[in-house]
């Protein structure tokens, strides 16, 4: 049927190009696809033996596309380590009415879950962070310090509220951090002996329970039962 037959001008076909939001999501998915492939290769082959061509093959993308998102292999490693640290906030969701002991428990369990979901990245942080530039290493340390500050704030509040007996806060903070990281570093041992929840519960018994006051023990018991 022609224009003369209908009297109407045919509409233009709709564009199928993605909008800005769709394009951003697609870019993020592609970037994460590349990073996951790189992390796997870095973990299996090592950082130095892995080439950008290897990463492209594993991610099933062209080598040129990788350079759209990353400057070099070092940039891929840095993004992977920083991305995991930035995710910690999403694993710990405090509420205004939470007592500091509940927040401390949440901080520890949140770190354990984060490590469990990104075991290879945490292994890489210990194996390959030396391959980052000094500025990149500083940024990774800053991300870890952010996690440490949350544990420190929880401990200080527990002491102020007489929920815990006096402890060396600086040492205790990194006892919590290292406990979470150990799930990745020694996962080959623990994965056959206990679940993640059992591991986290054991951490609470070793790192929280022994330091509680009588008031703290009363607050901790319902938290421990609820977490089962």
Residue 189 has pLDDT above 90, yes or no: yes
The predicted-structure confidence for 135-181, as pLDDT tens digits, reads as follows: 999 999 999 999 999 999 999 999 999 999 999 999 999 999 999 99
Helices 119-128 & 169-185 angle (0-180, nearest 10): 110
- Confidence band of 225 (pLDDT split at 50, 70, 90): confident
Element (H, E) at 40: helix 20-45
Q: What pLDDT is stored for residue 89 in this prediction? A: 87
The predicted-structure confidence for 76-96, as pLDDT tens digits, reads as follows: 999 999 989 989 988 987 665
Of residues 149, 150, 173, 154, the one with CA closest to residue 164: 154
Contact 31, 69 (CB under 8 A): yes
pTM, two decimals, is 0.82
What three-state secondary structure class fits 94? coil
Residue 208 has pLDDT above 50, yes or no: yes
Residue 69 has pLDDT above 80, yes or no: yes
């Amino acid at each position: 049927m022609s224009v003369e037959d209908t009297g109407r001008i045919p509409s233009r076909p709709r564009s199928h190009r993605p909008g800005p939001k769709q394009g951003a999501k697609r870019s993020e998915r592609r970037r994460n696809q590349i990073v996951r492939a790189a992390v796997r290769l870095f973990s299996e082959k090592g950082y130095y033996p892995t080439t950008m061509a290897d990463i492209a093959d594993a991610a099933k993308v062209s080598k040129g596309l990788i350079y759209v998102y990353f400057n070099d292999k070092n940039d891929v490693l840095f993004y992977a380590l920083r991305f995991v640290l930035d995710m910690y906030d999403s694993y710990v969701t405090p509420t205004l009415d939470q007592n500091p002991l509940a927040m401390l428990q949440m901080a520890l369990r949140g770190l354990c879950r984060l490590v469990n979901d990104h075991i290879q990245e945490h292994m890489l942080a210990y194996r390959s962070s030396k391959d980052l530039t000094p500025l990149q290493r500083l940024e990774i340390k800053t991300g870890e310090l952010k996690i440490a500050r949350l544990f420190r704030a929880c401990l200080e509040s527990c002491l102020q509220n007489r929920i815990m007996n006096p402890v060396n806060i600086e040492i205790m903070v990194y006892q919590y951090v290292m406990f979470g990281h150990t799930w990745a570093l020694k996962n080959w041992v623990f994965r056959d002996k206990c679940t993640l929840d059992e591991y986290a519960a054991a951490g609470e018994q070793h790192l929280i329970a022994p330091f509680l006051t009588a008031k703290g023990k009363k607050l901790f018991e319902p938290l421990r039962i609820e977490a089962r």
